[in-house]
Amino acid sequence: MPKLNLGRALAIANPAAHGGRGVAAAEHLRRFFASYSSATTFYEHRLTAAQGDGERAARESAGYDTVIALGGDGIIHEVANGLMQIRRDERPALAIIPFGSGNDFARTLGVPFNDVEAALARLAASEKHAIDVGRVNGIHFLETLSFGLDAAIALDTTDKRTRGTDEAGEQLYVTSGIKYIVSGSKGYACTFSLDGGPKQHIRSLIFAIQNGPTYGGGFTICPHADPGDGLLDICYNVKIPSVPHMLLLFALARFGKHTGSSVLAFAQAAHIEIEYDEDSVPCQADGEEIIGRRFTVDLLPSELNIYR
């Protein structure tokens, strides 16, 4: 029996999640809340049909106490962006039932993924906590923002999932990573500053800004990133490594063992300005593409209540 009451709860579920198994997962969720009426005072769920549906549904959720996002990092990203458009004093709390390919935000929160029963058990024992939210050019992100080769790899995994692939999670990210790394990219020239500090000039292969430690289905790019510490963690290259060296760093990043490399630098900041020399540099936030060459990134501390 759940220990908490989510109040008026709206579940937003992606039926295409986890290879189309989202429909069954959403039905499992509905049956659970029908069986345990004490877990909510009112329950409703909606299935998304197209990209953007999750954001629209969450944007219209004022009046609910809790919004439950069921699906992968993509639907969680959409729901979070919808919630962030609601006034803070009227904004529902977020709960997640992670059911996708990468599930990196679930890893950050320690929520079991691709197992509805386990996620519900964790939710039943959880409490509300305020977490930090990242924002880039007006778009919010919960876990990761990246540019250049880093982003091209992430966007390729999203494209493969859209077109249909048997690969998932880490395996999918590794396949895309090797494809782009062996291309021998020399990076993207950019200028950036951290918290209003001096401008720095690099050719970025890796420029990851993390609210949580992982991306790509568990690659620990910023091991100490914490969505409750009031800072974003940044990993970027200061040299252009050879292809073999880059492949080694890619392998080491799976377990967070890349941090001692002289090729990389790490920092923390709450405000970041980035400008690329060329248009349409690859950029992604929680797996969703962002178009542009100038980016303003901010951390919004303790901005979103979430069950964890």
pLDDT in tens, 84-118: 999 999 999 999 999 988 899 999 999 999 999 99
Q: Which of 92, 126, 160 is the last residue of a domain?
A: 126
Asked, for residue 132, whether it belongs to a domain, the answer is no
Beta strands in the chain (DSSP E): 8-13, 42-47, 66-71, 93-98, 128-136, 139-141, 144-147, 188-194, 200-204, 207-210, 214-215, 219-220, 232-237, 264-269, 271-276, 283-285, 288-289, 294-307
Q: What is the CATH number of the domain that holds 15?
A: 3.40.50.10330
**Shared domain check, 152 and 221:** yes
pLDDT in the model for residue 227: 98
- What tokens does 236 get? 């970027």
Name the domain boundary from 68, 98, 126: 126
Judge whether 134 lies within some domain: no
Q: How many Å separate Cα 236 from the centre of its chain?
A: 18
Say whether pLDDT at 1 is over 50: no
Domain residue limits at 295:
144-303
Looking at the fold, whether 83 and 154 belong to one and the same domain comes out as no
The number of folded domains in the chain is 2
Of 126, 161, 182, the domain-final residue? 126
Q: Are residues 115 and 181 in the same domain?
A: no
**pTM metric for this prediction:** 0.92
Asked if the structure places residue 191 within a domain, the reply is: yes
Q: Does 139 fall in a domain? A: no
Residue 135 lies in a domain: no
In terms of domains, do 117 and 205 share one?
A: no
Whether residues 153 and 220 share a domain: the answer is yes
Same domain for 173 and 103: no
**Nearest alpha carbon to residue 119 among 66, 70, 64:** 70
152 assigned to some structural domain: yes
CATH number at residue 243: 2.60.200.40
Answer yes or no: do 294 and 158 share one domain.
yes
Q: Given the structure tokens 């992968």, which residue do they identify?
A: 72
For 153-172, what is each residue's pLDDT tens digit? 878 776 766 666 665 556 77
The verdict on 199 and 81 lying in the same domain is no
In this prediction, residue 149 has a pLDDT band, given cuts at 50, 70 and 90, of confident
Q: Is residue 1 part of a domain?
A: no
pLDDT of amino acid 282 = 92
In a domain, 308, yes or no: no
The answer on 19 and 168 residing in a single domain is no
